Amino acid sequence: MTISSHPGLKLLVAIIVAIAVGIISDSVGWGIGTFFISMFIFIWVASWIFGGPIKGKVEVNDELEELLNKLEAIGNIKNTLPLNARGWCNSLGLFVQFRISANMTRLQAGEQNHSQIDAWQDFLESGTEWKVKKYNAGDWEKLIDPTFEIANWLIAYGGLPKEYEESFNRAVQSFKREGHLELPS
């Protein structure tokens, strides 16, 4: 991991550098200026150099396309669920955001506050081909199939019925311990 992947750390370093320069130069103006210069360096330069996992143009093979299609299905289901039921799709720790605009769809998925995949489809430019801006393969991919199963279960019931809430939570906890998901029926 690089410093560019930790926004809180970048901010902390910039503040410390700004305070140090302010004290050394005995000027608040220099301290404030140094803070903004430090943030510019971290955000633009470090992110450009140490951008993280695969970014830019990622080749979409059959395996990646299947993964994207499952994530799209999860996102579609999540978007059609009532607002109070959408969060249950995140129960296993996989967060999927799927947005549709007039000519484009955008898909992001990964752990909370840290996307592992960022893809889009531009219907005017590329038909229905996925364009992947960022893809970081990892353990989060193991959560796709069970999350897909949860999303389908939730859509079948139109959300999480009160009578299944406790057994649903037990099934999620069981999955986190044992890796086996058995939803209530």
Quick one: pLDDT at residue 127?
Answer: 62
- Tens-place pLDDT, residues 28-69: 777 777 777 776 766 665 555 444 444 456 788 889 999 999
What confidence score (pLDDT) does residue 52 get?
A: 46
**Does residue 73 register a pLDDT over 60?**
yes
Structure tokens at 78: 């999540």
Reported as a single tens digit per residue, the pLDDT across 151-160 is 999 999 989 9
For the beta sheet containing 104-111, the strands, ordered from the edge strand earlier in sequence to the opposite edge, are 54-58, 131-135, 114-122, 104-111, 95-100
**DSSP H/E element including 20:** helix 7-25
Tell whether pTM > 0.75: no
What element of type H or E holds 57?
A: strand 54-58
Which pLDDT does position 123 carry in this prediction? 77
Distances (CA, A) of 161 to 42, 49, 82, 140, 158: 47, 49, 12, 27, 8
Q: Looking at residue 129, what is its pLDDT?
A: 83
- Cα 153 to Cα 28: distance, rounded to the nearest angstrom: 58
